C-alpha cells in the first residue's frame, strides 16, 4: 500500500465493477477473484469499490458491507481499498462512511450530491460533514456530467483546509480549474476520465481512478511512469495506443462495456442491474474491434 503523502491512495486505481451472479445477486467470491486479479496481474495500487462503475445506485447498504469485507480480506493487505460512500443525502453518506470505516477500509470516495443541485455552500457542508465523521482520508469526486453541479475552485480551496480531505477524482473536463486548484491547494488529483488521463497527469495529477484499468492497468502504470520521468514522447505513444480502448469502453455506459469485456475474458463480472442493460451482440462485436485496435484481445 502507498506511504507517499503526495499520492495518498497510490498511482493506478480502478473503479471496480461489482460482480453479480446470473440471478443478479452479489458474487462475493467473484469480487475477491477480480480484486486479486487487478492487484496481482494488472499493477493496481488500489481499488475504488462502489464508485459509479460498481453500480452503487442499485447496491444496498448490506450488500456494500459484504463486498467491502470480501475485498478487504482478498487484497487489503497489499492494496488501498477505497469505499464509495457518497450519496445525495448527507446523513446517509455519514452512515455509510462510518460503516465502511468500521470494516477497515483505507479511504473514502465522496461524490458531489446528485439530482438535488445544492449550491456551493451546501457542497462544502456536505463534504466536511462526511469528512468529520471518520478519521479516514477522503477523495472528493467531481463529475458534473452526473451530478450537474461542479465543485468550483473556491469550494475546493476551502474543502482542502479540512485535514481529512486530501484528494480529488476529477471528471469535470476543465483543465484550467484543475490547474488553479493545484496551484492553490495540496490536494492530490486523480484522473477520473480515461480519455483525459494524459492531460491531467501532465498538469500535475498523481494517478488515475480508471475504468479501462480493468483491462490495461499495467499500461496505465507505464503511462504514469513516463510522465513522472519527464518522457512525454513515450507518454504520448502509450496514450495514443490506448485511445481505441478508451473509445470502445465508453461507446455506451462504461459499466456495461467493461462487464462485457470481463465476461469475454473469463473474469468475474456477471450481468448489470436495471436500469442498465447488458451489451448487445452488436455492441460486443464493436467492442472486440475497438479493443483489438488497442492491442487487447477478448
pLDDT of residue 165: 98
Q: Is residue 177 part of a domain?
A: yes
φ, ψ dihedrals at 289, nearest 5° = -65, -40
Task: Supply the DSSP string of 95-144, one letter for each residue.
Answer: HHHHHHHHHT-SEEEEEPPPSS---HHHHHHHHHHHHHTSSS-EEEEE-H
Q: Is residue 121 part of a domain?
A: yes
Q: Is residue 112 part of a domain?
A: yes
220-263 confidence digits (pLDDT tens): 999 999 999 999 999 999 999 999 999 999 999 999 999 999 99
- The answer to whether 280 is annotated as binding is no
Distance CA 61, CA 184 (A): 36
93-146 confidence digits (pLDDT tens): 999 999 999 999 999 999 999 999 999 999 999 999 999 999 999 999 999 999
pLDDT of residue 131: 98
5 pLDDT band, cuts 50/70/90, is confident
Q: Is residue 160 part of a domain?
A: yes
Instruction: Check 96, 114, 141, 246 and give the catalytic one.
Output: 141
The pLDDT mean for the chain works out to 97
Q: Is residue 261 part of a domain?
A: no
Position 1 pLDDT exceeds 70: no
2 pLDDT band, cuts 50/70/90, is low
Q: Is residue 1 part of a domain?
A: no
Distances (CA, A) of 55 to 85, 114, 250: 12, 15, 16
37-88 confidence digits (pLDDT tens): 999 999 999 999 999 999 999 999 999 999 999 999 999 999 999 999 999 9
- The answer to whether 157 is annotated as binding is no
Q: Is residue 212 part of a domain?
A: yes
pLDDT of residue 4: 81
Q: What is the mean pLDDT of residues 180-190?
A: 98
Give me the number of domains the chain comprises: 1
For residue 286, give the C-alpha cell: 464493436
Instruction: Check 169, 172, 190, 246 and give the catalytic one.
Output: 169
pTM for the full model?
A: 0.96
Catalytic, 259? Answer: no
Q: Is residue 256 part of a domain?
A: no
3 pLDDT band, cuts 50/70/90, is low
Query: 217 is in which domain, residue-wise?
Result: 12-231+267-272
Catalytic, 172? Answer: no
pLDDT of residue 235: 98
Residues 63, 27 contacting (CB under 8 angstroms)? no
Residue 62 maps to which CATH number? 3.20.20.70
197 pLDDT band, cuts 50/70/90, is very high
Amino acid at each position: 500500500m502507498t506511504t507517499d503523502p503526495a499520492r495518498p491512495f497510490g498511482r493506478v486505481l480502478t473503479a471496480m465493477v461489482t460482480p453479480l451472479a446470473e440471478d443478479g445477486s452479489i458474487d462475493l467470491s467473484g469480487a475477491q477473484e477480480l480484486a486479486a486479479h487487478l492487484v496481482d496481474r494488472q499493477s493496481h495500487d488500489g481499488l475504488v469499490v462502489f464508485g459509479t462503475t460498481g453500480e452503487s445506485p442499485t447496491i444496498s447498504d448490506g450488500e456494500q458491507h459484504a463486498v467491502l469485507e470480501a475485498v478487504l480480506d482478498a487484497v487489503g493487505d497489499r492494496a488501498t481499498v477505497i469505499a464509495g460512500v457518497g450519496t445525495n443525502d448527507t446523513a446517509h453518506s455519514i452512515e455509510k462512511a462510518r460503516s465502511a470505516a468500521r470494516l477497515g477500509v483505507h479511504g473514502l470516495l465522496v461524490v458531489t450530491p446528485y439530482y438535488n443541485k445544492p449550491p456551493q455552500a451546501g457542497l462544502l457542508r456536505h463534504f466536511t460533514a462526511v469528512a468529520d465523521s471518520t478519521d479516514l482520508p477522503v477523495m472528493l469526486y467531481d463529475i458534473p456530467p452526473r451530478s450537474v453541479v461542479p465543485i468550483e475552485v473556491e469550494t475546493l480551496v476551502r474543502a482542502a483546509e479540512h485535514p481529512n480531505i486530501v484528494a480529488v477524482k476529477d471528471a469535470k473536463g476543465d483543465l484550467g480549474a484543475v490547474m488553479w486548484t493545484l496551484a492553490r491547494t495540496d490536494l492530490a488529483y486523480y484522473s477520473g476520465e480515461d480519455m483525459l488521463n494524459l492531460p491531467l497527469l501532465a498538469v500535475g495529477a498523481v494517478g488515475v481512478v480508471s475504468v479501462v484499468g480493468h483491462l490495461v492497468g499495467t499500461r496505465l502504470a507505464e503511462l504514469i511512469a513516463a510522465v513522472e520521468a519527464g518522457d512525454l514522447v513515450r507518454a504520448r505513444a502509450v496514450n495514443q495506443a490506448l485511445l481505441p480502448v478508451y473509445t470502445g469502453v465508453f461507446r455506451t455506459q462504461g459499466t456495461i462495456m467493461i462487464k462485457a469485456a470481463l465476461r469475454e475474458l473469463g473474469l468475474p463480472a456477471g450481468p448489470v442491474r436495471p436500469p442498465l442493460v447488458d451489451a448487445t451482440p452488436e455492441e460486443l462485436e464493436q467492442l472486440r474491434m475497438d479493443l483489438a485496435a488497442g492491442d487487447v484481445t477478448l
